[in-house]
Chain A
Amino acid sequence: MNKRSNKCSAAERINAGLTRRRAVERLFRYTGLLALLLGLTFLCVLFFSIISKGYTAFQQTYIQLEIHFDEQKLDPSGERVYEVLSTADYGGLVKQSLRAAFPMVASRQEQRLLYDLISFGAAYQLRDRILADPALVGQTSRVWVTASDDVDMLVKGYIKRDVPEAERRLRDVQLAWLDTLETEARLSLKFNTAFFTSGDSREPELAGIWGALMGSILTLSVTLALSFPIGVATAVYLEEFAPRNRWSDLIEVNINNLAAVPSIVFGLLGLAVFINFMSFPRSASLVGGLVLTLMTLPTIIIASRAALRAVPPSIREAALGVGASKMQTVFFHVLPLALPGMLTGTIIGMAQALGETAPLLMIGMVAFIVDIPANIFEPATVLPVQIFLWVDSPERAFIERTSAAIMVLLGFLIAMNALAVILRKKLERRW
């Protein structure tokens, strides 16, 4: 009787605890789900904040001016030679046209405010037009020129009209002139081609990412040309030829550790060895490529070794069995089968290298460079560094440009990773 009641109470005790235990179970489970959702939310917030800040940068405000390409001002001799046409005073044309459009503006101070509506890059746009077609000299035509960054910010709504004049970057008179232009349909947002075709500039409305993109391409070319062959060769040696001894263990430990060394340390190495000791040119994409090569090698080696290991031994045995040498077996039979995996690893390594900033700061790729780099010895900057430089710029208009540059960078990264995934799905064989 006593025993029986004890049993009963044990079951009761378990039952009594069950509600609480199930509640804990649910709570734990939802905490896990919450953690996952929180992580994904961060991702969404990150993308949303960048896209919402940056999408406006793909458009740029332009103002239509009626420009009279005055022969007296541009080319009085009438010979239309390049030297004369390229050095003429195009800024004057812009100012003249503005004065003609707003004849009531008289005082010097107001005139200066009026000129501020137009970017000083407008003069270069007119010059390029004339150089492309010298027949325009002496004629009058309507030209869309880039507006200044303040006007751009106003049109895009970043500068509010309702704040007091003293706190606004644009004066009331300037707003009135812009309203006139708008009613005449001479103020409009158009696709911002300059952003994709020009180099860096101190003026946000003229700054573009093409120079940085070119620098990234050059740097990554150096990295790819060096790290892929060296990485594959190392992996092949370690996986297929190296005897198991202390030396190969040492190499392996080194590779694993290098994979986790902070990237900035590679920058220190690049500065001390490539620039200080070997005196390579500073800021050149060659040095950037070399540093990134050392940084991505571990990634490529580890991926390539995994790919080689995935090739079944039967392939090797079959090749050796019909009389191939060890080297022939590896190069004609094992390597082609492992290549998709190696390529995937390489693309992922390249994506890492494309997003890397810190080591490139060390070797001087942070200089303000307007020119588009043409080869790997010229000073260059890369896309992430350009982003870093723009974040530090005080102008409001650089924020949207930074976000737009980030969108381009992320676009490239996503494309590269998607390519890696597709390659893996299409080419990789499961044994």
Chain B
Amino acid sequence: MQIFILLFILAAMTAISFYLGRQRALAVAGGNVLTLNSLPGYYGYYMALWCAIPALFIVALWLFFESAIVASVVIASLPDAFITLPEQQLNLVLNEIVNLAKDNISAGQVSPEITAAAQLYNLIQTISSGLLFVLVVTLGAGGAVFAWSRIHVQQRARNKVERTVLIFLMICSTIAIFTTLGIVLSVLFEAMRFFQMVPLTDFLLGLEWSPQTAIRSDQVGSSGAFGAVPLFAGTLLVSVIAMTVAVPLGLMTAIYLSEYASPAIRARSKPLLEILAGIPTVVYGFFAALTVAPLVRGWGESLGLSVSSESALAAGVVMGIMIIPFVSSLSDDAINAVPQSLRDGAYALGATQSETIRKVIVPAALPGIAGGILLAVSRAIGETMIVVMAAGLAANLTANPLESVTTVTVQIVTLLVGDQEFDSPKTLAAFALGLMLFAVTLTLNVIALYIVRKYREQYE
């Protein structure tokens, strides 16, 4: 909360700086604004930037390092008996101190050392926030005064302000790269730790998946098996079911809408179909688990088949429904990109409309359609909520769509929901699965985008 007050004060100072800078520029110009190098407002911005940026920089640094420094000071103040504790226990002690200092609550008896440390913690916190306050206000004011003293008629305020803005824009644009880098590094780093505990070949080729590791070393059984083949098979099975629903329906819808439907029908039904794509996946999961799964089970049992209550079929079909608009809008784009001359040529030879579509348009649009389908596959593989809610957790290695299977994304969720320790293979396995998921979807995306772009250029 204090930080918000501080930022508010800084914002007020910045606003005042802007006003003062502008006034200063007008005063320097002595009534003749035309003698100024830039518009008076730019001198205001110049001063405001000098006021805000250094102070914000300090705030950011402070927020980043404050807790670590305070923690180390508090730990150093503890008696030697505590300092020699192993790191994990020391962290627990530190947690206790922080809780005691913040909310005055603690579990059980509190030793006097801890109470003293909590008081110290509060003291340091107070000093630190006071120091930050003074520092920020002085820096803001100092920056403003510095900028104020530099305002003169020939100063190129606009160029300086514009360069700062350009640098800001450049920094923003690099965030996409940092996100990708962050994903790759975080997933890769944890996955490497996992592969130190479980060999890569066991992970990629093992046929058994039971990530429960023994809690005590002398416990019987359950040492954990991390063979991911059942997960890959389950993912594949669900995706194949989804694609068998989505591809024919999506493609035929796209063909009908772009070649046959009247503009009125097209204009009405397209947004309606797009709603399917906009429905949150958790809603599909609910639909799959509570409506489709019992239906599939009922039908299966009336035919004398044994269907488990969580079946790959239910999850796959619902996922297919979700992907229909995705396939159809991408195929639609591809079909619309086929030049009219190809259609006219086919009609001139006496082909019917469906013959034109099947023999000319679809082949011509095939790369685009294939790219769209690849994107849809990548989406089916990465889809999480539907399979979490409807496909089940049992790692069955089966090709029977009526049995329950589990997928890569389901396992990532089940391994990471709840409390985690970052040194057990169970948690780290999720990152290894995440790495596989990221690698596969990235490859599919890159190929698909390449195909789509290549194809688009062909007819442009």
- CB proximity of B179 to chain A, nearest CB, Å: 5
B174 touches A265 (CB 8 A): no
- Known contacts A230-B175, A237-B172; A358/B354 CB under 8 A: no
B283 touches A260 (CB 8 A): no
Contact partner of A263 (CB less than 8 A), chosen from B257, B384, B422, B442, is B384
- Known contacts A35-B252, A251-B173, A261-B438; A384/B280 CB under 8 A: yes
B279 touches A46 (CB 8 A): yes
B174 touches A40 (CB 8 A): no
CA distance A124 to B249 in the complex (A): 53
A325 touches B162 (CB 8 A): yes
CA distance A32 to B358 in the complex (A): 12
Interface segment among B121-129, B133-141, B182-190, B199-207: the answer is: B182-190
* Chain A residues positioned under 8 Å from B158 (CB to CB): 325
Interface residues of B in 152-181 (CB under 8 A from A): 158, 162, 165-166, 168-170, 172-177, 179-180
Does A206 sit within 8 A of B, measured CB to CB?
no
- CB proximity of A256 to chain B, nearest CB, Å: 6
- Known contacts A250-B177, A262-B381; A241/B166 CB under 8 A: yes
B173 touches A256 (CB 8 A): no
- Known contacts A39-B325, A399-B290; A273/B186 CB under 8 A: yes
Contact partner of B290 (CB less than 8 A), chosen from A261, A262, A325, A391, is A391
- Give 1 or 0 for each of A349-368: 1 = CB within 8 Å of chain B CB: 00100111110011000100
Does A49 sit within 8 A of B, measured CB to CB?
yes
Contact partner of B438 (CB less than 8 A), chosen from A265, A355, A384, is A265
* Chain B residues positioned under 8 Å from A325 (CB to CB): 158, 162
CA distance A301 to B173 in the complex (A): 9
* Chain B residues positioned under 8 Å from A384 (CB to CB): 280, 282, 385
User: Size class of A's contact patch?
Assistant: 35 or more
Contact partner of A301 (CB less than 8 A), chosen from B176, B355, B384, is B176
Contact partner of B412 (CB less than 8 A), chosen from A234, A264, A355, A357, is A264
Contact partner of B422 (CB less than 8 A), chosen from A14, A255, A276, A362, is A276
- Give 1 or 0 for each of B46-60: 1 = CB within 8 Å of chain A CB: 000000000000000
* Chain A residues positioned under 8 Å from B446 (CB to CB): 257
Does A195 sit within 8 A of B, measured CB to CB?
no
A356 touches B354 (CB 8 A): no
B275 touches A21 (CB 8 A): no
CA distance A233 to B378 in the complex (A): 29
A262 touches B179 (CB 8 A): no
CA distance A266 to B280 in the complex (A): 17
B179 touches A49 (CB 8 A): no
Contact partner of A298 (CB less than 8 A), chosen from B168, B176, B251, is B176
A35 touches B256 (CB 8 A): yes
* Interface-central residue, B166, B179, B252, B379, by most chain A CB under 10 Å: B179
* Chain A residues positioned under 8 Å from B186 (CB to CB): 268-269, 272-273, 277
Does A36 sit within 8 A of B, measured CB to CB?
yes
B431 touches A388 (CB 8 A): no
Does A84 sit within 8 A of B, measured CB to CB?
no
Does B212 sit within 8 A of A, measured CB to CB?
no
* Interface-central residue, A241, A242, A272, A301, by most chain B CB under 10 Å: A272
* Chain A residues positioned under 8 Å from B248 (CB to CB): 35
* Chain A residues positioned under 8 Å from B333 (CB to CB): none
- Known contacts A230-B172, A236-B169, A409-B280; A46/B357 CB under 8 A: no
A25 touches B354 (CB 8 A): yes
* Chain B residues positioned under 8 Å from A250 (CB to CB): 177
Interface residues of B in 241-256 (CB under 8 A from A): 248-253, 255-256
Does B389 sit within 8 A of A, measured CB to CB?
yes
Taking CB as reference atom, which chain B residue is nearest A260? B445
Does A9 sit within 8 A of B, measured CB to CB?
no
* Chain A residues positioned under 8 Å from B379 (CB to CB): 260, 262
- CB proximity of B99 to chain A, nearest CB, Å: 13
Give chain B's interface secondary structure class: helix
* Chain B residues positioned under 8 Å from A262 (CB to CB): 378-379, 381-384, 409, 437-438, 441
Does A33 sit within 8 A of B, measured CB to CB?
yes
Does B40 sit within 8 A of A, measured CB to CB?
no
A402 touches B286 (CB 8 A): yes
Taking CB as reference atom, which chain A residue is nearest B271? A421
Taking CB as reference atom, which chain A residue is nearest B434? A268
B170 touches A237 (CB 8 A): yes
Does A31 sit within 8 A of B, measured CB to CB?
yes
- CB proximity of A405 to chain B, nearest CB, Å: 10
Taking CB as reference atom, which chain B residue is nearest A230? B172
B291 touches A358 (CB 8 A): no
* Chain A residues positioned under 8 Å from B285 (CB to CB): 388, 391
Does B27 sit within 8 A of A, measured CB to CB?
no
Does B289 sit within 8 A of A, measured CB to CB?
yes
B413 touches A264 (CB 8 A): yes
Does A221 sit within 8 A of B, measured CB to CB?
no
- Known contacts A237-B170, A257-B442, A272-B190; A263/B382 CB under 8 A: yes
Taking CB as reference atom, which chain A residue is nearest B416? A362
Does A279 sit within 8 A of B, measured CB to CB?
yes
* Interface-central residue, B176, B177, B409, by most chain A CB under 10 Å: B176
CA distance A388 to B284 in the complex (A): 11
- Give 1 or 0 for each of A296-311: 1 = CB within 8 Å of chain B CB: 0110010000000000
Taking CB as reference atom, which chain B residue is nearest A269? B183
- Known contacts A32-B253, A391-B289; A355/B260 CB under 8 A: no
Does B276 sit within 8 A of A, measured CB to CB?
yes
- Give 1 or 0 for each of B279-300: 1 = CB within 8 Å of chain A CB: 1111111110111000000000
Does A410 sit within 8 A of B, measured CB to CB?
yes
Interface residues of A in 167-217 (CB under 8 A from B): none
Does B34 sit within 8 A of A, measured CB to CB?
no
Does A417 sit within 8 A of B, measured CB to CB?
yes
B260 touches A32 (CB 8 A): yes
- Known contacts A35-B256, A362-B416; A268/B177 CB under 8 A: no
A-B contact pairs, 7 of them (CB 8 A): A36-B256, A46-B279, A251-B176, A262-B381, A272-B190, A355-B280, A406-B283
Given contacts A233-B168, A301-B176, 5 further A-B contacts (CB under 8 A): A28-B354, A29-B260, A32-B255, A254-B176, A357-B385
